[in-house]
């Protein structure tokens, strides 16, 4: 099992198609709301990744871009395939793989040229509307081109490169409105450019090896370049080419790159939002925000646009949800290991919450261990938009089984005790609609404010041991004895279950 270094978006689509995980949508679909509604329904039905090839206004030989790929990450099986697994591994095996690859660094290489420069548009030729960026949701403030676009920036002082996933909305032919949060990678760079009173160069990469999106959407430490991590996943250096108008480098075989700069001059700001965000709710109202002034667009011949429908909903979670499920669980596991906390068996994030809730399974070593776990997670930078709720369970509870977790919460948690701990007014997500509006003012606070909660759903060690319970603190479970189960197993066919094909 090995991720293939030859993967780009096109070979990835071939891989998914060969495994029955891609459907080409040949019927006409309008980019305005309809495409997003189709995508949501496919997510609800647990359907395949989609390649839209008949988009209203983007058909025929005159169209610069006529195809849109989405849903690539919207299942654990597809993620496993793209990471190089033949079969979907267990959550723990996938986390261990991600932890190993996140720590394997292979620096990129600069190449002379690549397919991304087959077409270079500057000046009046720049037109963002030439690409089928949808209005994904009917309440979105505009056409969101930046949903699965990887954003490349460089620290003006250290020269460290950051690659992250950040949203952007088309303002007009050559401008994109953005949401910049200071606690995120490019937000740190943006702060330095503002102090220097210089515009920040930026490059948006749409469509390449999906490992780029997988890594860019993860909280990689600021001292590590995401290109190095991508090289570790691929087992080979990432081939980069220089951008044409900004001092940045992008993958040579990317489908589409938008180059530009962001000014701190409020006179250049434009309304951005609202947007159907990862929370499953529409975020805030249209707000004047920094704008990318596009200086160049480069793309392959017959490019495939890459985008995603944001917003987790019960029964219909999307790409960011599944990516976050794996990476946020892996990052949390790494934080806990680095903190030296023993007995960490598994860490699970259900896709629907994108890592806002993390469930940690432990072999309990001492009373108070769950509080140590929550403190370590909440003290890490990885928690800026995640880990609002931390649930800790014993080793007999499957953290991936919500029914089991719910049972543990009901019968191992005393709400009147410190089994529940609330940590108030910490830094957190400014996009969470459950928090007060004044706690989401990025311009005033620099980050959102969250109240966080630990649910210690482990069996307490404060109860006395009882001999009638076999020397344990908690009463026995109602599971059958091994000898009872063995008797049932032997006689299973003799019971004669009428109308039911009963297999033991």
Domains and CATH numbers, the chain: 9-306 (no CATH), 319-457 (3.40.1670.10)
Q: What are 325-366's pLDDT values in tens digits?
A: 999 999 999 999 999 999 999 999 999 998 999 999 999 999
Residue 55 predicted with pLDDT over 60:
yes
CA distance 73 to 354: 13
From 334, 439, 440, select the one nearest 380 (Cα to Cα).
334
CA distance 72 to 20: 12
CA distances from 166 to 144, 173, 204, 447, 498 (A): 11, 20, 9, 15, 57
Per-residue burial over 270-280, b = 16 or more CB atoms within 10 Å of its CB, e = otherwise: bbbbbbbbbbb
429: preceding bond cis by omega (within 30 degrees): no
Q: What are 378-401's pLDDT values in tens digits?
A: 999 888 889 999 999 999 999 999
If you write DSSP's letter for every residue of 378-408 in order, what string do you get? HTSGGGSSS-SEEEEE-TTS-TT-HHHHHHH
Helix orientation angle between 319-338 and 76-83, rounded to the nearest 10 degrees: 70
**Quick one: average pLDDT of 456-481?**
93
Q: What are 140-188's pLDDT values in tens digits?
A: 999 999 999 999 999 999 999 999 999 999 999 999 999 998 878 899 9
Cα first-last separation, the chain: 33
Mean pLDDT of all residues belonging to the chain: 94
Query: Residue 19: its pLDDT value, please?
Result: 96
Residue 447 predicted with pLDDT over 80:
no
- pLDDT band at residue 1 under the 50/70/90 scheme: low
Neighbouring-strand partners of residue 423: 452
Contact 325, 75 (CB under 8 A): no
Which residues, including other chains, have CB under 8 Å from residue 271's CB and lie 6 or more apart? 141, 177, 286, 287, 288, 289
């Amino acid at each position: 099992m090995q991720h293939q270094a030859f993967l780009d978006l096109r070979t990835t689509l071939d891989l998914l198609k060969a495994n029955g995980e891609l459907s080409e949508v040949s019927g006409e679909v309008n980019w305005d709301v309809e495409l997003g509604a189709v995508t949501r329904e496919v997510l609800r039905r647990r359907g395949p990744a989609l390649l839209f090839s008949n988009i209203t206004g983007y058909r025929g030989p005159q169209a610069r871009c006529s195809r849109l790929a989405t849903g690539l990450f919207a299942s654990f099986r597809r993620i496993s395939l793209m990471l190089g697994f033949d079969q979907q591994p267990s959550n723990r095996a996938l986390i261990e793989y991600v932890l190993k690859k996140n720590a394997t660094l292979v620096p990129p290489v600069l190449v002379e040229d690549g397919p991304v420069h087959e077409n270079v548009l500057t000046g009046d030729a720049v037109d963002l509307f030439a690409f089928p960026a949808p209005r994904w949701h009917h309440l979105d403030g505009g056409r969101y081109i930046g949903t699965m676009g990887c954003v490349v920036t460089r620290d003006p002082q250290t020269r460290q490169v950051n690659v992250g996933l950040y949203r952007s909305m088309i303002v007009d032919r050559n401008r994109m409105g953005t949401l910049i949060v200071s606690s995120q990678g490019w937000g740190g760079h943006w702060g330095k450019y503002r102090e220097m009173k210089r515009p920040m160069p930026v490059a948006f990469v749409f469509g390449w090896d999906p490992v780029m999106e997988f890594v860019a959407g993860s909280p990689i430490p600021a001292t590590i370049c995401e290109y190095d991590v991508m090289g570790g996943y691929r087992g080979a250096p990432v081939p980069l080419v220089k951008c044409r108008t900004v001092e940045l480098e992008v993958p040579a075989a990317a489908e589409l790159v938008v180059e530009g700069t962001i000014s701190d001059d409020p006179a250049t700001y434009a309304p951005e939002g609202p947007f159907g965000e990862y929370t499953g709710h529409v975020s805030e109202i249209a707000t004047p925000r920094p704008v990318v002034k596009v200086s160049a667009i480069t793309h392959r011949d017959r490019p495939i646009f890459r985008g995603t429908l944001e917003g987790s909903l019960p029964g219909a979670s999307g790409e960011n949800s599944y990516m976050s499920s794996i990476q946020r669980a892996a990052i949390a596991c790494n934080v806990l290991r680095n903190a030296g906390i023993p007995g960490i068996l598994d860490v699970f994030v259900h896709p629907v919450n994108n890592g806002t809730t993390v469930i940690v399974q432990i072999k309990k070593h001492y009373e108070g261990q769950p509080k140590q776990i929550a403190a370590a997670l909440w003290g890490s930078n990885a928690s800026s938009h995640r880990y609002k709720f931390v649930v800790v369970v014993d080793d007999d509870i499957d953290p991936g089984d919500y029914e089991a977790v719910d049972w543990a919460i009901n019968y191992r948690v005393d709400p009147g005790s410190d089994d529940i701990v609330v940590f108030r007014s910490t830094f957190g997500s400014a996009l969470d609609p459950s928090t007060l509006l004044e706690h989401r003012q990025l311009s005033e606070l620099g980050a959102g404010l969250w109240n966080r909660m630990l649910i210690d759903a482990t069996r307490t060690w404060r109860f006395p041991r009882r001999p009638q319970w076999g020397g344990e603190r908690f009463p026995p479970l109602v599971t059958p004895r091994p000898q009872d189960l063995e008797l049932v197993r032997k006689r299973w066919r003799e019971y004669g279950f009428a109308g039911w094909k009963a297999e033991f």
